[in-house]
Amino acid sequence: MKKGSHFLIGISVVFSLLGCRSGNGVYYSVTDFEKVPKIDMHLHYNTEDVSYLKFADSLNFRIVSPNVDAGEMPVDRQLEIASTVRQKFPEKFAFFGTFAVDSFGRPGFAENTIVSIDKSIRSGACGIKIWKNIGMVLKNSAGQYVMVDNEEFDPVFDYMEANEIRLIAHLGEPRNCWLPENEMTVDNDRRYYSRHPEYHMYLHPEAPSYEDQIGARDSLLKKHPKLRFTGAHLASLEWSVDELGKRFDQFPEMNADLAARIANLQHQSLADRERVRNFLIKYQDRILYGTDMTLGTNDTVYSRVTSGMRDTWMNHWVYLATDSLVAVKALGGKRVKGLQLPRDVIDKIYRRNAEQFFSMNQ
Ligand SMILES: [Zn+2]
């Protein structure tokens, strides 16, 4: 090898360690990962064991944990855990409360739900999460599915709208949910629906369609134009940045998180990297970083859990912040080129948007 090429390699390494500068943008590098302050705003922290929070902090991550009405842990217990962790580490941890819908249709449902929302907010919640059970599980007394724009919910969302309480909503599912396994675009969906056939809507043609779910959510936002709204999981429009962009244009109070849908973005990247990159730059004020990792349930081996957290976070960082190739397990190991978003875009997606929307400024 000639002497000159050693010199050039040396220069490029130095540049990537410093965070390479080119054109108008200034970019982060892989080695910036630990030192840049970040927020994972969708991580289910279902334990009072704060060691994982301390681990996150060692990588400069703060955590926002959404409680969920999924029937796995009682809503009150989730609130107790979240408010305990928040009291211990208010500067590192925030959470969304939730409410149960089992008494839907009975007298006093809306009033009782508002009482439960107030309790969450008084306990320190930065907003309220609702889940896909609305639209996919909940039925009225006539046996019909209840969608989120059902009028019985109106007083609840009117109240949240009037009191500026943020709603984070996992409504519907990825479009893959309505497809047979062999037509799904990402392996994590294939795995999830093979384990949860009850939610694999391809198997349940009598249930509302994908379009019904998206339509009900859009109708909720039309009815409550001032409602502060975060669409979890790329607002279930993970298959098309264009479709999500249309909703952002239509609903100014709407933003969306990336939780558990980065592989779907990467799938779009393989077809058209610039389209995905331009979308994230155009809507840099509307996108929030989150993973949907869940702590405190099955795996309790600290070293295994924390190395999994680190790998997940690092893989996403390489994809979003650098132009390196990332091998994506959910795409059968295909290598996807990183988007190398400018630093200020990364800062918004990873921290500033969450700080603003969830009042997390320190
Ligand atoms: Zn989640």
Over residues 106-117, the pLDDT tens digits come to 999 999 999 999
Q: How confident is the model at residue 177 (pLDDT cuts 50, 70, 90)?
A: very high
Question: How many angstroms is it from 261 CA to the middle of ligand 1?
Answer: 11
Other CB atoms within a 10 A radius of the CB of residue 242 amount to 11
Question: What is the per-residue pLDDT for 2?
Answer: 37
Q: Is residue 95 situated within a structural domain?
A: yes
Task: Look up residue 60 and give its amino acid.
Answer: N
* Residues 14 and 47 placed together within one structural domain of the fold: no
d(C-alpha 235, C-alpha 224), whole Å: 17
* Residues 86 and 5 placed together within one structural domain of the fold: no
Ion ligand 1, residues whose Cβ is below 5 A away: 292
Residues contacting residue 164 through CB under 8 Å, at least 6 positions apart: 228
Model confidence at 16: pLDDT above 60: no
Number of H helices, E strands in the chain: 15, 14
Give the residue-averaged pLDDT of 257-266: 98
Task: Look up residue 4 and give its amino acid.
Answer: G
Question: What is the per-residue pLDDT for 297?
Answer: 67
For residue 63, list its beta bridge partners: 40, 93
Give the residue-averaged pLDDT of 316-335: 97
Question: How many angstroms is it from 341 CA to the middle of ligand 1?
Answer: 25
Model confidence at 10: pLDDT above 70: no
Give the residue-averaged pLDDT of 169-185: 98
Question: What is the per-residue pLDDT for 71?
Answer: 86
Q: Is residue 362 situated within a structural domain?
A: no
Question: How many angstroms is it from 78 CA to the middle of ligand 1?
Answer: 13
Question: What is the per-residue pLDDT for 214?
Answer: 98
Question: What is the per-residue pLDDT for 34?
Answer: 97
Question: How many angstroms is it from 259 CA to the middle of ligand 1?
Answer: 7
Question: How many angstroms is it from 26 CA to the middle of ligand 1?
Answer: 32
Give the residue-averaged pLDDT of 31-60: 96
Q: Is the CB of residue 157 less than 8 Å from the CB of residue 171? A: no
* Residues 22 and 39 placed together within one structural domain of the fold: no
**pLDDT tens-digit series, residues 87-106:** 999 999 999 999 999 999 99
Question: How many angstroms is it from 67 CA to the middle of ligand 1?
Answer: 8
* Residues 49 and 8 placed together within one structural domain of the fold: no
Residues contacting residue 168 through CB under 8 Å, at least 6 positions apart: 66, 96, 127, 128, 129, 130, 229, 230, 232, 257
Question: How many angstroms is it from 231 CA to the middle of ligand 1?
Answer: 11
* Residues 25 and 168 placed together within one structural domain of the fold: no
* Residues 60 and 125 placed together within one structural domain of the fold: yes
Question: How many angstroms is it from 6 CA to the middle of ligand 1?
Answer: 47
Give the residue-averaged pLDDT of 252-277: 98
Kind plus residue range of the DSSP H or E element containing 328? strand 325-328
Question: What is the per-residue pLDDT for 3?
Answer: 37
Question: How many angstroms is it from 38 CA to the middle of ligand 1?
Answer: 18
- With pLDDT > 90 as the criterion, what percentage of the chain qualifies? 90
* Residues 246 and 114 placed together within one structural domain of the fold: yes
Angle at 177 between CA 173 and CA 181, to 5 degrees: 155
Question: How many angstroms is it from 115 CA to the middle of ligand 1?
Answer: 24
Question: How many angstroms is it from 114 CA to the middle of ligand 1?
Answer: 22
Q: Closest Cα partner for 160 from 114, 116, 120, 123?
A: 114
**Domain count within the chain:** 2
Packed helices 241-250 and 273-282: angle between N→C axes, nearest 10 degrees: 20
Question: How many angstroms is it from 258 CA to the middle of ligand 1?
Answer: 10
Question: What is the per-residue pLDDT for 296?
Answer: 85
Task: Look up residue 75 and give its amino acid.
Answer: V
In whole angstroms, how large is the CA radius of gyration of the chain? 21
Residue 325 three-state SS: strand
Q: How confident is the model at residue 131 (pLDDT cuts 50, 70, 90)?
A: very high
Q: Closest Cα partner for 44 from 69, 26, 25?
A: 69
d(C-alpha 145, C-alpha 230), whole Å: 23
* Residues 41 and 28 placed together within one structural domain of the fold: no
Residues contacting residue 66 through CB under 8 Å, at least 6 positions apart: 42, 44, 95, 96, 98, 129, 168, 232
Q: Is the CB of residue 216 less than 8 Å from the CB of residue 135? A: yes
Q: What is the CATH number of the domain that holds 68?
A: 3.20.20.140
**pLDDT tens-digit series, residues 280-323:** 999 999 999 999 999 986 777 899 999 999 999 999 999 999 99
How many CA atoms within 13 Å lie on the side-chain side of 228? 16
Question: What is the per-residue pLDDT for 362?
Answer: 55
Q: How confident is the model at residue 19 (pLDDT cuts 50, 70, 90)?
A: very low
Model confidence at 237: pLDDT above 90: yes
Question: What is the per-residue pLDDT for 360?
Answer: 84
Q: How confident is the model at residue 140 (pLDDT cuts 50, 70, 90)?
A: very high
Question: How many angstroms is it from 7 CA to the middle of ligand 1?
Answer: 47
* Residues 141 and 234 placed together within one structural domain of the fold: yes
* Residues 134 and 218 placed together within one structural domain of the fold: yes
Chain-centroid distance of CA 110 in Å reads 27
Query: What beta strand segments (E) does 99-239 contain?
Result: 128-130, 167-169, 229-231
Angle at 128 between CA 266 and CA 178, to 5 degrees: 40
Model confidence at 12: pLDDT above 50: no
Question: How many angstroms is it from 42 CA to the middle of ligand 1?
Answer: 6
Question: How many angstroms is it from 63 CA to the middle of ligand 1?
Answer: 13
d(C-alpha 26, C-alpha 59), whole Å: 22
Question: How many angstroms is it from 269 CA to the middle of ligand 1?
Answer: 23
Question: How many angstroms is it from 25 CA to the middle of ligand 1?
Answer: 33
What is the reported pTM?
A: 0.92
The more confidently predicted of residues 6 and 274 is 274
Angle at 221 between CA 218 and CA 223, to 5 degrees: 110
Q: Show the domain range for 69.
A: 35-357
